[in-house]
């Protein structure tokens, strides 16, 4: 095939025809979603419109059927946006996230809910919990663990005295950059601002490249990006969103010590999410302070061949919560084998709280 104008013209004509078709199909899909909303409200006036298990199934199916040449993740991202717009037709979804604007948590919220959701930054993790509990927003997004730095204990602690449930998870690859403003004197950088987790995730890189620069922990990467605008001798470590938001330049890209650095975020809300076919459950368990307690707790999971994906211990905060374990495992509370394990665990523990069953993160 040559690149002759006639060839280009006919290819563009073909693209126009395909776009017409795509337009017609997306509109038909949106009409269907509107009808789904009518059915939902007819049976239950206080119906929940967002269905995480259904969205996970739609995305998984698309990824499975994708014929290429676009890769499956790319295709799922496109469908993510189509669903986001369809859901907004049913009801605009309000989402609170750990702010300020430009944080990785905002990026996670967009990745999970798409651009049509209305997202609101909160100053602290417990504020996100409070907004969801008060019903001021439909959902919240909070970080829970990082592959390099471990657990975000604030999030786990917030679950202890809350009735909030986990409705979903989203995993984000975290890339950090060293950023400067146009007024920064690049060879005079004596200070690097970032969130403590990000400073820790780039520790070796900083040791090698800026051994003498003072590392200043601040409340978020976005805050670090904002601060250096007025300091000619300072740089910030933050991600793409913060760089774009504050118009900063990248001196060095992807400076995280581990190339697979990723953070897991939780979607919190108040609904029970039905099975999606590939689910996870999170529980918090209090054990009495006695020898063998942890073994007693884990033994039923082993016997029923249930795959544990995470175990965290947190100090107790009341008399009842002597030892508190946060456990994530594969499976859904509505599955008989999971129900059986939970029954056994309840007999051995002084308190068990199911935080939620939810689809394993798709994107
Ligand atoms: C259309 C529905 O409502 C919402 C929109 C979806 C979609 O666009 O596919 C999927 C699940 C819901 O979040 C539905 O429940 O099927």
What whole-number distance in Å separates Cα of residue 268 and Cα of residue 126?
Answer: 12
CA distances from 357 to 14, 153, 166, 328 (A): 45, 20, 7, 10
Closest residue by CA, ligand 1 atom 7: 83
Closest residue by CA, ligand 1 atom 6: 83
Contact 157, 145 (CB under 8 A): no
Q: Is the model's pLDDT at 1 over the cut of 70?
A: no
Is 263 part of the annotated catalytic residue set?
Answer: yes
Output the six-digit token pair for 313: 């211990």
Whole-number Å distance, alpha carbon 344 to ligand 1 midpoint, is 36
Whole-number Å distance, alpha carbon 87 to ligand 1 midpoint, is 6
Look at residues 103, 69, 89, 72 and name the one whose alpha carbon lies nearest to residue 26: 89
What whole-number distance in Å separates Cα of residue 358 and Cα of residue 55?
Answer: 11
Rg (CA), the chain: 23
Is 265 part of the annotated catalytic residue set?
Answer: yes
pLDDT digits (tens, 9 = 90+) for 22-65: 999 999 999 999 999 999 999 888 889 999 999 999 999 999 99
Q: What is the pLDDT of residue 320?
A: 52
List the catalytic residue out of 105, 148, 155, 263: 263
What whole-number distance in Å separates Cα of residue 267 and Cα of residue 108?
Answer: 10
Closest atom of ligand 1 to CA, residue 51: 13
Report residues whose beta carbon is within 6 angstroms of any ligand 1 atom. 33, 36, 49-51, 54-55, 58, 83, 86-87, 90
Whole-number Å distance, alpha carbon 361 to ligand 1 midpoint, is 17
Whole-number Å distance, alpha carbon 178 to ligand 1 midpoint, is 40
List the catalytic residue out of 159, 265, 326, 329: 265
Closest atom of ligand 1 to CA, residue 50: 13
pLDDT digits (tens, 9 = 90+) for 122-173: 999 999 999 999 999 999 999 999 887 788 889 999 998 899 999 999 999 9
User: Complex ipTM, two decimals?
Assistant: 0.98
Whole-number Å distance, alpha carbon 268 to ligand 1 midpoint, is 18
């Amino acid at each position: 095939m040559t690149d002759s104008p006639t060839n280009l013209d006919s290819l563009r004509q073909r693209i126009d025809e395909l776009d017409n078709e795509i337009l017609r199909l997306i509109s038909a899909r949106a009409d269907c979603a509107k009808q789904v909303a009518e059915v939902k409200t007819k049976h239950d006036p206080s119906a929940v419109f967002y269905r995480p298990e259904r969205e996970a199934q739609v995305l998984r199916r698309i990824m499975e059927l994708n014929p290429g040449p676009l890769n499956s993740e790319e295709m799922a991202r496109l469908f993510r946006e189509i669903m986001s717009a369809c859901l907004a037709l049913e009801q605009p979804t309000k989402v609170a996230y750990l702010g300020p604007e430009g944080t990785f948590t905002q990026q996670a919220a967009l990745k999970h809910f798409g651009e049509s959701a209305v997202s609101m930054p909160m100053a602290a993790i417990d504020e996100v919990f409070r907004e969801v509990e008060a019903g001021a927003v439909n959902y919240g997004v909070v970080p829970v663990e990082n592959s390099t730095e471990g657990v975000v204990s604030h999030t786990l602690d917030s679950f202890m005295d809350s009735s909030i449930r986990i409705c979903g998870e989203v995993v984000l690859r975290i890339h950090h950059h060293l950023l400067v403003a146009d007024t920064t004197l690049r060879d005079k950088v004596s200070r690097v601002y970032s969130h403590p987790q990000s400073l820790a995730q780039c520790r070796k890189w900083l040791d090698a490249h800026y051994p003498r620069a003072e590392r200043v922990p601040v409340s978020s990467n976005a805050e670090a990006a904002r601060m250096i605008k007025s300091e000619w001798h300072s740089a910030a470590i933050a991600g793409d969103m913060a760089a774009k938001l504050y118009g900063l330049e990248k001196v060095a890209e992807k400076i995280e010590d581990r190339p697979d650095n990723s953070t897991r975020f939780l979607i919190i809300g108040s609904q029970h999410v039905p099975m999606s076919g590939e689910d996870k459950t999170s529980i918090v368990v209090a054990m009495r302070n006695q020898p063998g307690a942890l073994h007693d707790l884990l033994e039923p999971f082993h016997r029923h061949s249930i795959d544990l994906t995470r175990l965290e211990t947190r100090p107790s905060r009341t008399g009842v919560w002597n030892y508190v374990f946060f456990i994530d495992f594969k499976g859904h509370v509505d599955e008989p084998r999971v129900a059986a394990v939970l029954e056994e665990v309840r007999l051995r523990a002084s308190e068990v709280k199911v935080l939620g069953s939810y689809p394993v993160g798709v994107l």
